[in-house]
């Protein structure tokens, strides 16, 4: 076990958990920035692969991503350290702030702050989509699958689980059978 690496991952994921607002997909650009950009623990391609696995496994995508990054870097101890670290800061801040803010939830200033956070969260999610999209090997098959998935979700209102299954089948056909 590489104790200095585990300690560095613990501190990194504590920071990610403490300063990431919006949860889920909004945290992904922060995780990517730390893991790929600052520490160079993973390449963009490795991060994209981990992100793909994180999205199809049960549970919150940010926690799954942290868990898989921790496992890739430090095995089981790294996985446990990353998961606990990314969650503990968020839970602690939520518990401390929720009790204090709840009585003032209708106050104009509090509502304004939360209203201002919404576009920031949307920007973070878009940032994750763009940075992830830049690492994909785009070809006619991936574009076709993406367009079909987008149309199924937005126009036909098909449930996400069905779209994931359909996309997986299309991927198997396009990349497996048509190679």
Digit-coded pLDDT (tens) for 11-41: 999 999 888 766 677 788 889 999 999 999 9
The better pLDDT of the pair 82, 133 is held by 82
Residue (of 171, 169, 177, 164) closest to 137 by Cα position: 171
Q: What is the pLDDT of residue 99?
A: 80
Share of the chain above pLDDT 70, in %: 98
Residues 6 or more apart whose Cβ sits within 8 Å of residue 141: 171, 174, 175, 178
User: How many alpha carbons lie under 13 Å from residue 42 in its C-beta half-sphere?
Assistant: 25
How far apart CA 96 and CA 134 sit, in angstroms, is: 38
C-alpha distances (whole Å) from 127 to each of 40, 107, 124 are: 19, 31, 5
The better pLDDT of the pair 104, 1 is held by 104
Mean pLDDT of all residues in 85-94 = 86
How far apart CA 121 and CA 114 sit, in angstroms, is: 10
The better pLDDT of the pair 122, 84 is held by 84
Q: Where are the domains of the chain?
A: 3-136, 138-179
Q: For the whole prediction, is pTM greater than 0.85?
A: no
Q: What is the pLDDT of residue 21?
A: 66
How far apart CA 80 and CA 114 sit, in angstroms, is: 32
């Amino acid at each position: 076990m590489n104790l200095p690496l585990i300690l560095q991952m613990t501190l990194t994921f504590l920071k990610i958990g403490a300063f990431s607002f919006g949860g889920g997909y909004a945290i992904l650009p922060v995780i990517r920035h730390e893991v790929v950009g600052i520490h160079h623990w993973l390449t963009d391609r490795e991060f994209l692969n981990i992100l793909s696995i994180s999205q199809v496994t049960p549970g919150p995508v940010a926690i799954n991503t942290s868990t898989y990054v921790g496992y890739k870097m430090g095995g089981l101890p790294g996985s446990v350290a990353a998961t606990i670290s990314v969650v503990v800061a968020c839970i602690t801040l939520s518990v401390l702030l929720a009790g204090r803010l709840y009585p003032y939830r209708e106050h104009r200033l509090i509502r304004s702050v939360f209203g201002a956070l919404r576009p920031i969260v949307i920007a973070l999610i878009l940032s994750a989509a763009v940075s992830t999209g830049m690492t994909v090997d785009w070809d006619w098959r991936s574009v076709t699958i993406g367009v079909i998935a987008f149309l199924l979700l937005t126009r036909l209102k098909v449930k996400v689980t069905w779209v994931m299954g359909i996309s997986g089948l299309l991927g198997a056909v396009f990349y497996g059978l048509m190679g």
